[in-house]
Structure 1
């Protein structure tokens, strides 16, 4: 029997609370890696100095915190399922001296805000994990003012993202992972070309654009890549938890061997590609 959207949401909340410490530990690395994607989401949001912004599935605060520095006469609300992740965001906002940042714990499919409340809505790497994605996009449209931009980033095709597929594919070769039903939440659920444009258009958005942005995940060694991925990637942790000790050691050995193909100038460099999509509320 498939899990209900509510069950998936509750499991995600528990998982992200658990992984918040890992995201805090690797904050500088994640910030640098994800910066091109967050910058593209912000660029498509057409922010003004007085914009009132909502960042959905904000996690530990990006791209909302970067946006907050761009709207000194406005404000940014960070919304996430995980109170643990948002607590990290609050610490970061304080450390940067940002006083125009607010947080809210909530479900993207039931946003706790009034109609037409925001000048821009951002969502970086959240949409593909929402159990009820169309409901979440409809909610983003509802809380956006007429003329507001809604912009998002989702991971591109698996072949364009060896940062994830190298380790996930290795885990799959050594364990029996359940095959998720079509359309289930997952890293590459929104990867097909044109998929997100259709989702945004069907939600009533106009002037919809879609483009790709690529960068590299860079780690100094295979050991650091392994530590990084097992600390922040929930899908990796779930896969490894299904493997016995012998299989986990084989997975680690195979991953280290495969990483040799991606060593350039003394570092591991793994391609990472996202689709940026944006549209305007009519």
Structure 2
């Protein structure tokens, strides 16, 4: 792995450890919001009661924990680079009484798992933050059995995701931060139509399909949206950290004003769209 990739990996570990508390705080809201994307991955995986499942970059445990309840005679391994995020996932597994799961703190590009040992491999939004997609995808392929399904979700285009682009665009308007280097992890890095399918085929997967899934991020007020985003969205917090108090207040004011466009039936509803890609290891 290159020095640049090592640096990105180390930064991601530190950042997600710092944000574990926010993800624990907002767990119920995150489950409701991200639920349709996890459900799409599980549907594509074609699980059966004895399936062995790998959830890469599982964070606080989804969709791996949901899958664990669907494979009572199988098992699920949840991996993530952040020990802090996996501690939240482990506590949730205990609370749900799930005994067929285990946890591995590791890099997605170096999974400490045996070859051809899983019937299904998930990765929900992890690819957006990996230093490079190729090494992680090769590891998923390696650990999947012949005939196994590999499924992933990545965020769609910025225009299809005002939940993030609204606040990110406002940040960009009020700051003079240089654009990130090409290939830098980010929410919309793999949003181009067909890109993930091509990468899955290049990795050797067959029967590759790609579709979109959408839902709304719903918040009762601008204040709750702001609190939520600044506590769970790493890119937002990183941008705000580079501004002074006056600039942050201007950003907050502008965000609140823009959110008025998305108010319906007494709540703020922000579209959230992902690409769901799936393939089979031949």
TMscore range, shorter length: over 0.9
How many residues end up aligned between the 2 structures?
A: 281
1:9 to partner: Cα distance: 0.3
Which residue is equivalent to 2:223?
223
| Segment of structure 1 superposing worse, 251-260 or 169-178 | 169-178
- How does 1:102-181 map onto structure 2 within 5 Å? 102-181=102-181
C-alpha separation in 1, matches of 2:263 and 2:257: 11
**For residue 69 of structure 2, what is the aligned residue in structure 1?**
69
Distance 2:52 2:93 in 1: 17
**Secondary structure at 1:238 match in 2:** helix
Distance apart, 1:32 and its partner CA: 0.1
2:196 matched to which residue of 1?
196
Equivalent residue for 2:253?
Answer: 253
Q: Deviations over 1:143-175 (max 9, x none)?
A: 000000000100000000000000010011011
Per the TM alignment, residue 128 of structure 1 is displaced from its structure 2 partner at its CA by: 1.5
Residue 183 of structure 2: aligned partner = 183
Where in structure 2 are the equivalents of 1:22-37 lying within 5 Å? 22-37=22-37
Q: Aligned residue for 1:101?
A: 101
Q: Quick one: distance in 2 between partners of 1:278 and 1:128?
A: 16
Q: 2:90 maps to what in 1?
A: 90
For structure 2, which runs of at least 5 residues remain unmatched after alignment? none
- The within-5 A match list for 1:6-45 is 6-45=6-45
Query: Tell me, what secondary structure is at the counterpart of 1:31?
Result: helix
2:132, 2:183 within 8 Å by CA — same for their partners in 1? Answer: no
Shift of 1:114: 1.1
- The answer as to whether partners of 2:68 and 2:101 remain within 8 angstroms in 1 is yes
- Distance in 2 between residues matched to 1:3 and 1:258, nearest whole Å: 40
Q: What is the rounded CA distance, in whole Å, between the counterparts of 1:181 and 1:275 in structure 2? A: 23
Residues 131, 183 of structure 2: 8 Å contact kept: no
Which string of whole-angstrom CA distances, capped at 9 and with x for unpartnered residues, describes residues 219-257 of structure 1? 000000000000000000000011111000000000000
TM-score by length of 2: 0.98
Following TM superposition, by how much is the alpha carbon of 1:178 offset from its aligned partner in structure 2, in angstroms? 2.4
Aligned-partner SS, 1:108: coil
Tell whether 2:51 aligns with 1:47: no
**2:109 partner SS:** helix
C-alpha displacement at 1:132, in angstroms?
A: 2.0
Measured on the aligned residues, the alpha-carbon RMSD in Å equals: 0.9
Listed one character per residue, the Cα deviations across residues 168-221 of structure 1 (whole Å, up to 9, x for unaligned) are: 100110112221122221100110000000000000000000000000000000
Supply the distance in 1 between the matched residues of 2:222 and 2:280 (Cα, whole angstroms): 43
Separation (CA, whole Å) in 2 of partners of 1:16 and 1:131: 15
* TM-score of the aligned structures, taking structure 1 as reference length: 0.98
Q: Distance in 2 between matches of 1:203 and 1:245?
A: 47
Q: Is the 8 A contact 2:68 2:76 kept in 1?
A: yes
Q: 1:3: how far off? A: 6.6
CA contact (8 A) 2:20 2:84 kept: yes
Distance 1:62 1:46 in 2: 17
